[in-house]
Amino acid sequence: MSLVGVIAFYFTYTLVLFSIIAILYTFGLWSRRFSVAISIQRIWKLGAEEMNRLIRGNSIDRMHFAIVVGLLLSIAFALLGPALPYLLPLLYLMLALTLPAIAGLLLSLYWRLQLLNKSDRLNRKLNGSKEMIFNSKKLQVILIVVIVFTIAQLIVEWITGFEWLANLLDATKNLFIAIYYARPSINLIKNFDRPITKVQLPFELKKIQSGEVDAAQVKVGVDKIGELSSDAIASCDSCVEIGACEAACPATATGRLLSPRVLVRKVSVLKESNGDDADPFKEILDDEVWSCTTCGACVYSCPVGVDHLGLIYQLRRTMVEKNRLDQKKSSLLMNLMQGGNSMGLPNYARNSWIKDEFGISEAREGKPFEYLLWVGCMPSFDERSRESVRSLLKIVREAGLSDKLAYLGDEETCCGDPARRLGEEGTFQNYALTNIEIFKKYGAKKLVVLCAHGYNSFTNDYISVDSSMKGIKVYHESQLIEELIEKGKIKLKKANEDVTIHDPCYLARYNGVVEPQRLILSSASNLKEPQQSGERTFCCGAGGANYWYDVPEEKRISHERLDQLSATGAKVTVTLCPFCNSMLNDASSVKMNGSMKVIDLSQFVEEHLDKNG
10 Å CB burial of residue 227 (0-12, 13-18, 19+) is middle
DSSP string for 51-79: HHHHHH--HHHHHHHHHHHHHHHHHHHHH
Q: Does 384 bind another protein (CB under 8 A)?
A: yes
CB 430 within 8 A of CB 481: no
Q: Does 181 bind another protein (CB under 8 A)?
A: no
CA atoms of 589 and 152, how far apart (whole Å): 54
State the nearest-atom distance from the C-beta of 383 to another protein, in Å. Answer: 3
CB 167 within 8 A of CB 13: yes
Tabulate helix, strand, coil % of the chain (nearest 5): 65, 5, 30
State the nearest-atom distance from the C-beta of 331 to another protein, in Å. Answer: 7
Q: Does 344 bind another protein (CB under 8 A)?
A: yes
Looking at the Cβ atoms of 190 and 559, the one nearer to another protein is 559
* Main-chain phi, psi angles of 598, to 5 degrees: -115, 110
State the nearest-atom distance from the C-beta of 564 to another protein, in Å. Answer: 17
Q: Does 381 bind another protein (CB under 8 A)?
A: yes
Closest CA to 67 of 162, 158, 176: 176
State the nearest-atom distance from the C-beta of 296 to another protein, in Å. Answer: 22
Binding piece for another protein, criterion CB under 8 A, among 157-165, 248-256, 334-342, 474-482 = 334-342
Q: Does 176 bind another protein (CB under 8 A)?
A: no
List 80, 334, 349, 567, residue binding another protein (CB under 8 A): 334
- 272-331 residues in contact with another protein (CB under 8 A) are 328, 331
- 41-60 residues in contact with another protein (CB under 8 A) are none
Q: What element of type H or E holds 99?
A: helix 88-125
Q: Does 356 bind another protein (CB under 8 A)?
A: no
List 338, 467, 496, 612, residue binding another protein (CB under 8 A): 338
CA atoms of 363 and 22, how far apart (whole Å): 65
List 181, 371, 407, 548, residue binding another protein (CB under 8 A): 548
List 212, 356, 383, 554, residue binding another protein (CB under 8 A): 383
**Torsion sign, CA atoms 292, 293, 296, 302:** negative
DSSP string for 264-328: HHHHHHHHHHH-TTS-GGGTS-HHHHHT-----HHHHH-TT---HHHHHHHHHHHHHHTT---HH
Residues touching another protein: how many (CB under 8 A)? 26
Which amino acid, 128?
Answer: G
Q: Does 431 bind another protein (CB under 8 A)?
A: no
Binding piece for another protein, criterion CB under 8 A, among 11-19, 77-85, 108-116, 339-347 = 339-347
User: What CA dihedral angle connects 314, 320, 325 and 329, to 10 degrees?
Assistant: 90
CA atoms of 591 and 607, how far apart (whole Å): 26
Q: Does 382 bind another protein (CB under 8 A)?
A: yes
Looking at the Cβ atoms of 382 and 563, the one nearer to another protein is 382
10 Å CB burial of residue 58 (0-12, 13-18, 19+) is middle
The whole-angstrom distance between residue 243's C-alpha and the CA centroid of its chain comes to 15
Query: How many Cβ atoms from other residues are within 10 Å of residue 134's Cβ?
Result: 13
CB 223 within 8 A of CB 276: no
State the nearest-atom distance from the C-beta of 557 to another protein, in Å. Answer: 11
List 547, 566, 575, 602, residue binding another protein (CB under 8 A): 547
Looking at the Cβ atoms of 416 and 541, the one nearer to another protein is 541
282-to-74, 234, 285, 420, 599 alpha-carbon distances in Å? 43, 20, 8, 24, 44
List 136, 314, 318, 385, residue binding another protein (CB under 8 A): 385
554-to-128, 250, 268, 558 alpha-carbon distances in Å? 20, 12, 28, 12
Looking at the Cβ atoms of 531 and 589, the one nearer to another protein is 589
Q: Does 131 bind another protein (CB under 8 A)?
A: no
Binding piece for another protein, criterion CB under 8 A, among 78-86, 209-217, 382-390, 568-576 = 382-390
State the nearest-atom distance from the C-beta of 385 to another protein, in Å. Answer: 7
Looking at the Cβ atoms of 287 and 382, the one nearer to another protein is 382
List 7, 83, 103, 590, residue binding another protein (CB under 8 A): 590
List 227, 411, 529, 586, residue binding another protein (CB under 8 A): 586
User: What CA dihedral angle connects 234, 237, 243 and 246, to 10 degrees?
Assistant: 60
Closest CA to 24 of 150, 164, 175, 241: 175
**Torsion sign, CA atoms 143, 250, 537, 475:** positive
CA atoms of 53 and 56, how far apart (whole Å): 5
Q: Does 587 bind another protein (CB under 8 A)?
A: yes
State the nearest-atom distance from the C-beta of 412 to another protein, in Å. Answer: 16
Q: Does 556 bind another protein (CB under 8 A)?
A: yes
Looking at the Cβ atoms of 255 and 344, the one nearer to another protein is 344
List 550, 567, 595, 610, residue binding another protein (CB under 8 A): 550
Which amino acid, 259?
Answer: S
Q: Does 255 bind another protein (CB under 8 A)?
A: no
Binding piece for another protein, criterion CB under 8 A, among 174-182, 267-275, 439-447, 581-589 = 581-589
List 176, 203, 358, 549, residue binding another protein (CB under 8 A): 549
Q: Per residue in 233-257, is it b (16+ CB within 10 Å) or e — as a string? A: bbbbbbbbbbbbbbbbbbbbbbebb
Partners of 57 in the beta sheet? none
Q: Does 581 bind another protein (CB under 8 A)?
A: no
Partners of 575 in the beta sheet? 502, 600
CA atoms of 135 and 265, how far apart (whole Å): 9
Binding piece for another protein, criterion CB under 8 A, among 165-173, 201-209, 435-443, 548-556 = 548-556
State the nearest-atom distance from the C-beta of 248 to another protein, in Å. Answer: 24
State the nearest-atom distance from the C-beta of 536 to another protein, in Å. Answer: 26
List 101, 171, 309, 343, residue binding another protein (CB under 8 A): 343
- 359-378 residues in contact with another protein (CB under 8 A) are 378
Q: Does 430 bind another protein (CB under 8 A)?
A: no
CB 404 within 8 A of CB 360: no
The contact set with another protein (CB under 8 A) reads: 328, 331, 334, 338-339, 343-346, 378, 381-385, 547-550, 556, 559, 582, 586-587, 589-590
